[in-house]
């Protein structure tokens, strides 16, 4: 998936979402009820400050990180939080990047043709936010429409971020180098997985906390409408750092205690593959770095490369499972991932889109398995396509679709894919450039 989708998801992960694993099922089943009336401003501010200090002390004890500084806290209304969301999106993502995200998502068939990313993200975030820690100001805010006692698990999660920031400097993750968002989302899986595991342990200390949390979600007027309507790949990638990240941090913590988790902030996971398969992190199995030629000039003067990034194992799992419909099959086909590089090209005049990909696999058998799975995905993605050579081939396949040609070639442990190539272009010439 595109780096801007990942980069925006990284922003989403800087705030605590109601759509945590614990909250999902109860909130989905809740009937609409009136929000809990807020306490007077001064009284609520004092209550939040006292709760922040108490939860921070307990969180520090659980996480075994000493408190270095007091954390300022407060409450914000929906309109204040919405303004914060829009401000951060504008600061962190240009209109061009947002457009590239949307184009890539649609071209890969991960969102409908009429999907509009920016307004959707704003609505999703405003719906889901329960509280957030802001590294820029080192301040913590809660949603003012949710009961305070029920928000204490959210506080444990967010105040873990405050402790992380005090010890490991979370601001260094705000401006990740462009071109490897798979590594970026794996770093955020560490950050969010750490906070999610602390939140889990906080809840385990007193079962009544979970009941209060669920009750507050059910009585706050909270909706899951936008989250439920999100494209599946976006929704699952949004949850990846929370769910897979928590599982990964739990494995690290079981192996070496909280000290090992803290050490991971200087020895970061390098890929979603390492998050999905912790043994590869412990073995320091680094991704294969791939460069790919820019074919914009070969496509023509109207074409421009608008995205250049890494999908990673998780990205290919999402791309395959969207159409294969078997998570197990998509998982098997993507888990031999060794590295990749992809680029998105857009015709500035016609709006045509081409996606080029080079993937590297651990073994030739892994490459064959991915090649076959991507072919199956392509046939399902373009049901009215016709295969150019009329029969499957072990190392080269091509389809003609209403959105251009799709060409695949396998050479040993690598697979190259060109998707959306205009029919008047020489596919062989473009593929030769990709292999250079």
Separation of alpha carbons 322 and 215, rounded Å: 34
- pLDDT on residue 40: 57
- pLDDT on residue 177: 78
* Residue 285 CA to its chain's centroid (Å): 22
- pLDDT on residue 197: 97
| CA distance to 241, 318, 325, 328, 397, per residue, from 376 (Å) | 28, 14, 11, 14, 11
For residue 411, how many C-alpha atoms fall within 13 Å in the half-sphere facing its CB? 9
Lowest-pLDDT choice from 1-15, 111-125, 364-378 = 1-15
- pLDDT on residue 35: 45
- pLDDT on residue 24: 33
Q: What is the mean pLDDT of the chain?
A: 87
Separation of alpha carbons 221 and 100, rounded Å: 35
Q: Is the pLDDT of residue 195 over 70?
A: yes
Task: Work out the pLDDT band at 26, boundaries 50, 70, 90.
Answer: very low
- pLDDT on residue 392: 64
- Read off the pLDDT of each residue in 2-7 and give the average, rounded to a whole number: 52
Q: Is the pLDDT of residue 270 over 90?
A: yes
- pLDDT on residue 22: 35
Q: Is the pLDDT of residue 121 over 80?
A: yes
- pLDDT on residue 176: 81
- pLDDT on residue 85: 80
Domains of the chain: 3-270 (no CATH), 296-435 (3.40.1000.70)
Lowest-pLDDT choice from 32-41, 126-135, 307-316 = 32-41
Task: Work out the pLDDT band at 118, boundaries 50, 70, 90.
Answer: confident
- Read off the pLDDT of each residue in 187-216 and give the average, rounded to a whole number: 88
Most confident of 117-126, 176-185, 191-200: 191-200
Task: Work out the pLDDT band at 346, boundaries 50, 70, 90.
Answer: very high
Q: Is the pLDDT of residue 29 over 60?
A: no
Task: Work out the pLDDT band at 13, boundaries 50, 70, 90.
Answer: very low
- pLDDT on residue 393: 82
Lowest-pLDDT choice from 65-74, 179-188, 218-227, 251-260 = 218-227
Q: Is the pLDDT of residue 90 over 90?
A: no
- pLDDT on residue 31: 31
Q: What is the DSSP string of 261-318?
A: HHHHTTS---SHHHHH-HHHHHTT-PPPP------HHHH-TTEEEEEEE--HHHHHHH
pLDDT in tens, 143-163: 888 788 888 998 999 999 999
| CA distance to 9, 10, 81, 94, per residue, from 87 (Å) | 15, 15, 10, 12
CB 311 within 8 A of CB 1: yes
Full-model pTM: 0.90
Q: Is the pLDDT of residue 3 over 60?
A: no
State the sign of the Cα–Cα–Cα–Cα dihedral 66, 184, 138, 37. Answer: negative
| CA distance to 51, 178, 272, 279, 323, per residue, from 317 (Å) | 41, 22, 11, 19, 10
Separation of alpha carbons 352 and 330, rounded Å: 28
Lowest-pLDDT choice from 33-37, 59-63, 132-136, 183-187 = 33-37
Q: Above pLDDT 70, what percent of the chain?
A: 87
Task: Work out the pLDDT band at 84, boundaries 50, 70, 90.
Answer: confident
Rg for the chain, CA atoms, rounded: 23
Q: Is the pLDDT of residue 11 over 80?
A: no
* Residue 376 CA to its chain's centroid (Å): 25
Question: 91 versus 369: which is more confidently predicted?
Answer: 369
Q: Is the pLDDT of residue 1 over 70?
A: no
- pLDDT on residue 2: 53
pLDDT in tens, 275-306: 999 999 999 999 999 999 999 999 999 999 99
Q: Is the pLDDT of residue 335 over 80?
A: yes
Q: What is the DSSP string of 79-132?
A: HHHHHHHHHHHHHH--HHHHHHHHHHHHHTTSS-TT--HHHHHHHHHHHHEEEE
């Amino acid at each position: 998936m595109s780096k801007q989708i990942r980069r925006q998801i990284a922003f989403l992960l800087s705030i605590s979402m109601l759509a945590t694993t614990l909250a999902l099922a109860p909130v989905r089943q809740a009937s609409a009820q009136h929000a809990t009336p807020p306490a007077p401003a001064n009284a609520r501010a004092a209550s939040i400050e006292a709760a922040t200090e108490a939860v921070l002390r307990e969180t520090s004890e659980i996480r075994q990180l000493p408190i270095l500084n007091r954390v300022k806290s407060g409450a914000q209304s929906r309109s204040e939080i919405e303004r914060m969301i829009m401000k951060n999106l504008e600061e962190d993502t240009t209109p061009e990047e947002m457009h590239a995200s949307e184009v890539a998502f649609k071209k890969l068939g991960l969102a409908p043709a009429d999907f509009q990313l920016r307004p959707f993200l704003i609505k999703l975030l405003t719906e889901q936010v329960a509280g957030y820690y802001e590294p820029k100001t080192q301040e913590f805010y809660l949603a003012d429409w949710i009961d305070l006692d029920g928000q204490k698990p959210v506080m444990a999660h967010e105040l873990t971020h405050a402790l992380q920031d005090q010890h490991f400097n979370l601001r260094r993750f705000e401006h990740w180098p462009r071109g490897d968002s798979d590594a970026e989302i794996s770093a955020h899986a560490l950050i969010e997985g750490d906070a999610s595991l602390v939140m889990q342990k906080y809840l385990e200390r007193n079962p009544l906390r979970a009941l209060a949390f669920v009750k507050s979600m059910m009585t706050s007027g909270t909706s899951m409408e936008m989250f439920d309507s999100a494209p599946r790949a976006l929704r699952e990638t949004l949850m990846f750092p929370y769910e897979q990240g928590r599982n990964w941090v739990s494995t690290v913590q079981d192996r070496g205690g909280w000290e090992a988790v803290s050490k991971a902030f200087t020895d970061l996971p390098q890929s979603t593959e390492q998050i999905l398969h912790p043994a590869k992190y412990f073995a320091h199995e680094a991704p294969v770095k791939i460069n790919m030629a820019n074919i914009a000039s070969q496509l023509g003067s109207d074409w421009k490369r608008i995205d250049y990034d890494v999908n990673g194992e998780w990205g290919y799992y999402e791309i395959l499972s969207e159409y294969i419909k078997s998570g197990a099959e998509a998982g098997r086909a993507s888990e031999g991932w060794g590295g990749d590089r992809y680029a998105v090209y857009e015709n500035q005049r016609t709006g045509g889109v081409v996606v080029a990909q080079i993937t590297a696999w651990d073994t030739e058998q892994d490459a064959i398995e991915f090649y076959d799975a991507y072919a199956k995905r392509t046939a399902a993605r373009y049901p009215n396509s016709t295969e150019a050579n009329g029969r499957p081939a072990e190392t080269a396949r091509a389809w003609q679709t209403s959105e251009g040609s799709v060409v695949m070639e396998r050479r040993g442990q690598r697979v190259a894919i060109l998707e959306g190539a205009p029919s008047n272009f020489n596919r062989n010439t473009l593929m030769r450039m990709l292999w250079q």
